[in-house]
Amino acid sequence: MSSSESVKASEGPARNLPLTAQLFSIVVFGSIVNEGYVNRPDEVEQHCIFNRNPNACNYGITIGVLAFLGCLVFLALDAYFPQISSVKDRKKVVLGDIGFSAFWSFLWFVSFCFLTSQWQASDLKQDNPLKEGADAARAAIAFSFFSIFTWAGQAFLGYRRYRLGADSALFSQDYMDPSQDTSVPYAPYVSGDEMEPPGSYQQPPSSSPEGYQTQDY
């Protein structure tokens, strides 16, 4: 595989998972915001459907919104990545993607465990006799679980992208924008003297002060 093909392979798959992660995050925080707060018929104030624990709803909403915004940021950086000329900046983007994705995979694991435990502790007969929002609560739990693997996969693809970049031109000074024509072999920059074909330079014959040419042996 050529260096340009390695760059394309390292960029392509990474653009699919953020869209899936965005969708899952919307389901989680959207479900909690829309149907995650209920009240008994004799109450006016609404409470979190997860065991009436406001921290559970706030946690699910917070990491869902931040995950959605993080996906937007990394999608924008992924689209702008070929325009980044600095080697250090390219490494920072890829390493940032790996770190953020791995960390958010852990946060989704915490979300799944937290919401599941609070949902199991909920008393539906007392706190939610009409069982309103039960499907939304289950959806938030389920997509928190799916998000664990989505973000872990994003971290893995980021690591793979980093390894491919280290072995190809992605993190070298000879990096070429993949949008350019790859049919012409790419050669690193050389100076004008190095571009001179071997043997093309011939030393002019030397002359004696009297104007006669001298023979070199």
Q: How many CA atoms lie within 13 A of 72 on its CB side?
A: 8
Q: Provide the angle, in degrees to the nearest 10, between the axes of the packed helices 87-121 and 54-80.
A: 160
pTM for the model: 0.68
> Which residues on neighbouring strands pair with residue 37, listed in sequence order?
48
> How confident is the prediction for the chain on average, in pLDDT?
75
Residue 182 lies in a domain: no
Residue 53 lies in a domain: yes
- What are the φ and ψ backbone dihedral angles of 47, each rounded to 5 degrees? -125, 160
Residue 140 lies in a domain: yes
Residue 194 lies in a domain: no
Residue 24 lies in a domain: yes
Provide the domain limits for residue 150.
Answer: 3-167
Residue 83 lies in a domain: yes
Q: How many domains does the chain have?
A: 1
Q: How far is CA 180 from CA 85, 89, 176, 190, in A?
A: 14, 21, 7, 20
Look at strands 37-38 and 47-48 and give their pairing.
antiparallel
Residue 202 lies in a domain: no
Q: Which residue has the tokens 């008994």?
A: 40
Q: Give the residue, 69 or 202, on which the prediction is more confident.
A: 69
Residue 141 lies in a domain: yes
pLDDT of residue 40: 77
Above 50 in pLDDT, residue 191? Answer: no
